[in-house]
């Protein structure tokens, strides 16, 4: 992953906390966007997780039935980016222990490093945003693989909308979303590029499998 993106994720989080951006964003969305019922919030979370999968599954279907090796590789790149990013993101979440923003008692600068809590009210798995990191990983992987402008715009638009949803319904602090975008973008570019190089070979060996970044 790009060192600059990692630095942006960490330093951006510090900046958002110190300048009050996290707290002001939380107050704004709490005032203007209803939190909704538990069922509604659950549905929003599931939609946020499913949106990045849609381009990958659609591409895989088209490639499978059309016997298009490049499309299958593009789908595999996107799915691998999502899976790898999800694992790394969850590991970081467990190490940093940041609490939910929609609970008034929780402060933006509150982190519980190496300390987990399973109580629903005090879940500490917020930094970075997993939905956002996976959405940006999918967008970056597919963009780098195809290198076509409209695909880049479309996939990143989906990623931005996922990140905004995480903010609007106070699933995450603003800096969670920033960090998730940086993490996902960095990992997605690496994986997408590996698959692009693999699929671009003129005569790949029959036994070759898509690379695991």
* Residues 25-51: tens digit of each pLDDT: 999 998 888 877 777 777 877 777 888
**Confidence at residue 117, expressed as pLDDT on a 0 to 100 scale:** 56
d(CA 213, CA 201): 17
d(CA 138, CA 50): 11
Work out the burial of residue 172: count CB atoms within 10 Å of its CB; fewer than 13 is exposed, 13-18 middle, 19 or more buried.
buried
10 pLDDT higher than 90:
yes
Task: Give the pTM.
Answer: 0.87
Q: For 112, phi and psi rounded to 5 degrees?
A: -125, 80
17 pLDDT higher than 70:
yes
* Residues 87-120: tens digit of each pLDDT: 999 999 989 989 889 888 889 999 988 776 555 5
Rg (CA), the chain: 18
Query: In the chain, what are the domains?
Result: 3-199 (1.20.144)
d(CA 13, CA 194): 30
* Residue 72, SS3 per DSSP: helix
Name the most confidently modeled range: 22-36, 116-130, 172-186: 172-186
209 pLDDT higher than 60:
no
Tell me how far apart the terminal alpha carbons of the chain are, to the nearest angstrom.
Answer: 11
Q: What's the whole-number average pLDDT of the chain?
A: 86
DSSP run (H or E) holding 48: helix 38-50
Number of neighbours of residue 105 by Cβ within 10 angstroms: 9
* Residue 188, SS3 per DSSP: helix
Tokens 């798995």 locate to 125
CB within 8 A of 128, min separation 6: which ones? 9, 89, 92, 93, 176, 177, 178, 179, 180, 182, 183
By mean pLDDT, which of 3-7, 119-123, 180-184, 206-210 is the weakest? 206-210
142 pLDDT higher than 90:
yes
């Amino acid at each position: 992953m790009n060192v600059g993106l990692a630095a942006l994720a960490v330093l951006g989080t510090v900046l958002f906390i110190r300048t009050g951006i996290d707290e002001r964003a939380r107050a704004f969305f709490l005032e203007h966007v209803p939190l909704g019922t538990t069922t509604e919030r659950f549905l929003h979370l599931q939609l946020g997780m499913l949106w990045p999968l849609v381009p990958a599954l659609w591409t895989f279907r088209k490639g499978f039935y059309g016997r298009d090796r490049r499309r299958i590789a593009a789908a595999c790149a996107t799915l691998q980016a999502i899976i790898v990013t999800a694992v790394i993101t969850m590991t970081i979440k467990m190490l940093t222990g940041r609490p939910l923003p929609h609970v008034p008692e929780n402060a933006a600068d509150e982190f519980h490093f190496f300390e987990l809590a399973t109580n629903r009210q005090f879940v500490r798995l917020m930094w970075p945003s997993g939905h956002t990191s996976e959405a940006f990983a999918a967008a970056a992987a597919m963009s780098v693989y195809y290198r076509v402008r409209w695909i880049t715009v479309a996939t990143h638009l989906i990623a931005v909308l996922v990140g905004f949803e995480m903010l609007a319904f106070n699933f995450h602090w603003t800096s969670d979303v920033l960090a998730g975008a940086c993490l996902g973008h960095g990992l997605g570019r690496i994986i997408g590029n590996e698959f692009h190089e693999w699929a671009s070979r003129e005569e790949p060996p029959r036994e070759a499998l898509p690379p695991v970044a």
